[in-house]
Amino acid sequence: MTMWLFVLCCCTLLADDMPAERRYDAGPLVVEDFQAEVPEPLPQVGRFRQFALADTDIRYQIEYRYRKTSDGVEASLKDIDNYAIFLSDKSWIAPAGVKALDHEQGHFDISQVYALDAKLQMKSRLHDGKSLIGKGASRDEAISDLQRQVDEFLKPLRDRVDTAQKEYDRQTNHGLLAASQAAHRKRQLELLKELIGDLENLATSDEP
């Protein structure tokens, strides 16, 4: 039976002089990445002013195979790539907030940590032969069903990353508590390194 292999990118692509969405692997954030208008007056956070806001999200791209069956069409997940994006058109930084750049990078790193964790979980499932299979009367219906299952798998991740972002702000007082800020940044970088290593080890174990 013939099977076809396709790649589906589940994100919105916008064409501008400065891309509205910036992938994590493009490198560390710089001031120019913050494209939204700075609010006036600056928001108040407790006794202090908020000098920056980083808006991030997580996207995924899937590789799937589809085939016709006696009941319709099946689309089976073959691979997935999860990654964090920075939403430039929703993120802003005041001139006096350049020192907050490291704190905002922390928000981006948190999103990438959870993106890589989800990627590791899904790839581990695939490694163990537990693929997701979308079904439908047509190819489009089967792909939609597969996307629904992937979204359902990732939903708890979104809840966890939102909680982690708020806790990061709370424990560092939006980056104003230097010791706590440094400890969080150190742990974020350690987690990224660990997850990258785990993914590399999994990929090596999949080699023939």
Residue 10 has pLDDT above 70, yes or no: no
Q: 26-50 burial, b for 16+ CB within 10 Å, e for fewer? A: eeebeeebbbeeeeeebeeeeeeeb
What tokens were used for 51? 């000098």
Question: What is the three-class DSSP state of 198?
Answer: helix
* Span 96-131, pLDDT tens digits: 777 789 999 999 999 999 999 999 999 999 999 998
Residue type for position 150: V
CA distance 48 to 105: 20
Residues 6+ apart with CB under 8 A from 74: 66, 67, 133, 134, 135, 142
Q: What is the pLDDT of residue 15?
A: 32
Most confident of 115-119, 158-162, 204-208: 115-119
Q: What is the pLDDT of residue 178?
A: 92
Q: What is the pLDDT of residue 188?
A: 98
Q: Whole-model pTM?
A: 0.86
